[in-house]
Amino acid sequence: MTRRRRPGLAAGLAFLLAVGVAGATPSFGAVSTPPPTPVPPSGSPSPFPTALSTPKPSPSPPVLHSAAGFLEDPTTGQSLDRKAAGTPRPIASLTKIMTALTVLATTPLKRTVTVSPSAASAGGSTLGLRAGERITVRNLMYALLLQSSNDAAVALADGVAGSSTSFVAMMNRRAAALHLVGTRFASPSGLDNAGHSTARDLAALTVAAYHFRAFADIVASKSWDIPGPGHTQRHVQNRNVLLWLYPGAIGVKTGFTTPAGHCVVAMARRQGRTLLAVVLGGPTETAAFDDAAALLNFGFDEFQNVALVRRGERLGTATVGGLEIPAVAAADLVKLVRIDQVPSIKRFFTATPSLRLPVHAGQVVGEEAVWVAGRRITAVPTVTRAGAPTPPATSPGSAQTGQLQGAARLVIALLRTMFDGFL
């Protein structure tokens, strides 16, 4: 079981809102293929994959071609599969997820920025910005996240912070605030390959970005038209082919450099469930998309939500000073469990060994641990039920102290339960 600091409950609700309302409702019927899109400056079509190849459904995790991978339920942080998920690697244009988050957290989308000479001279994938051109942050964000335009990344950095150097410092401060311990950025584009992150960190970063409705809307868009100089139009197309090829796909970003390999962060929603997959270091673009799709299939096909414990359920008895105190669950406990492992679920009640009289109503008196396939995955705190026999305290002061201590222990235990990971 891994534990990772997660956003608070309010942030989790914001994520659910953003994912729930962003973009069109995904269709689960026939899917189309992405049309070739001209890539400036030569106009040659980008070689998008037109089909996915994934293994047949199996309770065993898919074998990935990519160097690293991670699959989670982003609303709870529950990890479902991983491969070298904590190993730092170059991440190419996945860097732009942090660029977008930093912009969205500091700058209105309607703001207009003036393109700097450094932005106009950016290499790699570009929108074709010209020095002195004025363009909205919103349009730069579409170029950044759909076409992965490096000139848009630099234009945003310069427009928000005055320089790429100052903007990168903002990115790294935000990474530290999100506790992305395996992450360091060196540019707003990722073209430099000097920055790095991990598959697990990128999942947490993506969840943070989805707290912004605009991010969810943009990464779910297949294309966008951006006004250019002289009343021209620049048509940008999303390079995430899963939006065309994977039923239920709603985002998010791709990236490639030779050191990083092919990288994909993918989000999909089906029948009320949302899953997030990250693959890094794919040997080919096709392999990276196949790996992302295989991870998502594994999560959707092989896991189901199981109510492991219900709030108020009688779980055991704690003996304190010769008195038997009934213990009940302090909260519901619902987790994704692999379907073939559901019959292996076991629960064990353990009373808190340090309990002393008096014991007050609602006080934490133990925990109910849940084991799946021989592994402890999580636990829920147990408390005294209303009406349970509770001997009086020896003095009013000691009763008040015991109540406060019991309330504090319950809050801590509930938070630990809510944000535990699965693996």
96 is catalytic: yes
- Helices (H), ranges, 223-320: 242-245, 285-302
Residue indicated by tokens 């704690």: 318
Torsion of CA 20, 237, 189, 167, to 10 degrees: -60
Of 66, 79, 83, 96, which one is the catalytic site residue?
Answer: 96
Of 79, 93, 116, 221, which one is the catalytic site residue?
Answer: 93
Calpha distance 129→116 (Å, rounded): 9
Residue indicated by tokens 């790294």: 172
Phi, psi of 364 (to 5 degrees): -65, 125
93 is catalytic: yes
- For 82, counting Cβ atoms within 10 Å of its Cβ (0-12 exposed, 13-18 middle, 19+ buried), the class is buried
Q: What amino acid is encoded at 340 in this protein?
A: D
Give whole-number Cα distances, 192 to 122, 150, 167, 282, 410, in Å.
11, 11, 15, 18, 48
According to DSSP, the β-strands at 68-73 and 273-282 are antiparallel
Interacting residues of 363 by C-beta distance below 8 A, sequence separation 6+: 383, 384, 402, 403, 406, 409, 410
Of 148, 187, 189, 221, which one is the catalytic site residue?
Answer: 148
Calpha distance 164→6 (Å, rounded): 28
Active site members: 93, 96, 148
